[in-house]
Amino acid sequence: MESEFENQPLTSDGVVAPYQPLVDELAEVNKKMRAYDLQGDRLVEKLRKLQKNYYDDMKIIDENYKGYDGEIFPWRSGAEHMRGKYAFWDVQTTHLNLSGPILEQVAIRKHGAGNEKQIKVIDGICQRLMALDEMYHKLYLRRRQIQTELGKQSIAYTD
């Protein structure tokens, strides 16, 4: 009579581990999440370097930005002619574990020395950051599913 666990991998102490595929998937998900965090940090660093080069024209708003009471950013102005002078992005990197502050907005004046080229560069960086943030969130949700399933299987396995 064959056991249903006969071809299953064994743990280091010789116990059958039917949930090993989930453990492997969890390790892969964690690896990808760390990679996304690193990519996010690199992209934010690129934005900060751009801001140093365009310090008069570019602004990065993050969770640490204090500003002053009632501050209205020009790109959020009620006046269309003011809004039209800026390219801006609502980045909202709320899921990535960035080493620095969480990004919220990036803006650059449309007209200035070299700003037209930089708008395309910044747009690419911001779009990639937002895509990374979304992919990270999906991995986070998958990790929670795996952890829940592992918890159920380990309880069932120990019964």
Q: Specify the pTM.
A: 0.78
pLDDT digit string, tens, across residues 27-61: 999 999 999 999 999 999 999 999 998 888 899 99
Query: Is 36 within 8 Å of 135 (Cβ atoms)?
Result: yes
3-state secondary structure of 75: helix
pLDDT band with cut points at 50, 70 and 90 for residue 133: very high
pLDDT digit string, tens, across residues 72-126: 888 888 888 888 899 999 998 889 888 888 889 999 998 877 788 889 999 999 9
Q: How far apart are CA 108 and CA 89, in angstroms?
A: 9
Query: Is 106 within 8 Å of 60 (Cβ atoms)?
Result: yes
